[in-house]
Amino acid sequence: MKFVERGDFNGAKRVMPSIKSYHHEIGYVIKVFDHTIEQLNHLIETEYEANIRRKDAEYKALLLQINPHFLNNTLEVIGGLAVQGKKKEVMNVSIYLGRMMRYSLNTRTDVVKLGEEISYIRSFIEILKLRYEGALTCEIDEQEETKSIPIIKFIIQPLVENAVKYSFIHHTVADIKIKTMVQQGQLVIVVEDKGIGMSDEEIANICQTVKNDGSDSALDSDGHSIGLKNVLGRLSLYYGANFSFSIESEVGHGTKITLCIK
């Protein structure tokens, strides 16, 4: 029972054969307890696996929802540049898009080096700069030490996409900052914008969703949820207690999202 109290079901199973079971009330309790351990362990493992499958399915569905939208916009950019006879720009956008597609279509692993994720973001930003014709600026401060740190894929693009989208709602320009660093034994990733910001209620709703293990669908595309909730939910599921985050925001003045991974 002490093993079970600690959540160590395998430890409990290991000591059960050493407990003698007789044909009376105590023996019956021991048999029931043994069966209960098996059932609990099975249910926990099944629920955990089901949760991972659900998150993975939502994540893949989210990518299917985002990528065609971005691809369509990029093809329109290429078409517009071609009409203007800007061959060099057409070639550059094609190269950036090719790099992004290679990264996206590599399904062998969900874990990459952070340097690869940032390279993907650089290509993404260059395409957005052409789309918004100079109205977008993005500063990337990438600490050398962070480039080789492994990280799950596609955790920065949705945040950048949101930052750009909500910056242009009330402004004619967008100013985005991305920073990666190692601080007090943690990998820290910061995405900051000067967009419309979020209310305390919106932030509380996002935090509650993540706390509830992302029970809201990642496909809910209202407000910031399509990207931010999905990113935070996946990080929380993958890293558990080793992941934390903060959202600093002021309505009308922008948002700063900080991701921390031990």
Give the mean pLDDT per block of 10 residues along the chain (262 residues): 84 76 77 85 81 70 61 87 90 91 80 94 92 90 96 90 88 93 96 91 85 53 60 85 93 93 95
Q: What is the pLDDT of residue 114?
A: 97
Domains of the chain with bracketed CATH: 2-45 (no CATH), 46-261 (3.30.565.10)
Q: What is the pLDDT of residue 21?
A: 63
Q: Which two tokens stand for residue 67?
A: 């990528």
Residue 114: is it exposed, middle or buried by C-beta count within 10 angstroms (0-12/13-18/19+)? buried
Q: How far is CA 12 from CA 109, 127, 148, 233, in A?
A: 35, 56, 40, 32
Nearest residue to 142 (alpha-carbon basis) of 176, 189, 193, 186 = 189
Q: What is the pLDDT of residue 63?
A: 56
Q: What is the pLDDT of residue 221?
A: 42
* Angstrom distance (rounded) from CA 251 to CA 262: 30
Q: What is the pLDDT of residue 216?
A: 46
Q: What are the residues whose beta carbons fall under 8 Å from the beta carbon of 122, sequence distance 6 or more?
A: 140
Q: What is the pLDDT of residue 233?
A: 82
Q: What is the pLDDT of residue 37?
A: 85
